[in-house]
Amino acid sequence: MVSGSLFVRSLSSVFICAVVSLSLYFGEISFYILCFLLAVVSSVELLNIMQCKRLYYVPAFFIVVIPYASLVYIYNLLNGEIILIWLITVVWGTDIAAYFVGKNIGEKKIIPMISPNKTWAGLFGGVVAGAFISVIVSIIFGIFFVFHAFIAGILIAVVAQIGDITESCIKRLCKVKDSGTLIPGHGGILDRMDSFIFTAPLVAYYVQKFSRFFLT
C-alpha cells in the first residue's frame, strides 16, 4: 500500500467502509453498481500503469475481472452479505495490522526490490490479526466452526499480502509508484483493493468446497 499521513489514511478508510456498508445495506443493485464502478476504475488504472507493457494486458485484465466477479458470486450465495463482511473485515484487518507491525518493529524486508515496505514482522503480524479477526467475526455472525474460521483467517491473511505484492510487482515493472490518486493516503482503487486479487476467488472456492463446515 502507498504511504500517507495516518489521519488522511484513516479518514479515507472510514469513507470506504461507509460506502461498502451502504451498498450492502441497500441491496443487490447498489452492490452490483459499486462492483461495476470499482472494476471500471481499476481497469482504467491498470491500463494506465501498464502502458509500457501492452503484452501483459490480457493476463493483467483477469487481475481486475476475477476478483470483482468473485465478490458478486459470494454476495449471491446463502448468507452472502455476512460472508462478504467477514472477508472484508479479515482482509482490511490484516492490512492494518501488517502496516502497523511492519512500521514499528519490522526490520527484515521480504522483497525489498519490489515492495520495500513489506517486512517479515508485518507479514506475521497480519497473519495473526487475520486469524484472530476471522474467529471473532465468525463467532459473532455464526459463520464457521472456530477451527475452520482460524484456518480460513490464516489463508486469507497470507493470500491478501500476496495480492499486495503482486500489484507492487506490476507497478515496479512499469516504474509507477501508485495506481492512481483517487483515494487520499492510499493511492488508487487498485492500491486499496489489491488484497482482494486472490482472496476473493479463494473465498468463493472455499465457501463452495467447505460449506458443510458452516454454522449458518
Q: Are 174 and 50 in contact (CB under 8 A)?
A: yes
How far apart are the two ends of the chain, measured CA to CA in Å? Answer: 34
**pLDDT per position as a tens digit, 48-69:** 877 765 556 656 677 888 999 9
Rounded to two decimals, the pTM is 0.87
Closest CA to 90 of 158, 19, 183: 158
Q: 5-9, 165-169, 188-192 — which is least confidently predicted?
A: 5-9
**pLDDT per position as a tens digit, 128-142:** 999 999 999 999 998
Can you read off the three cell numbers belonging to residue 16?
470506504
**pLDDT per position as a tens digit, 81-122:** 999 999 999 999 998 899 889 888 867 888 888 887 788 999
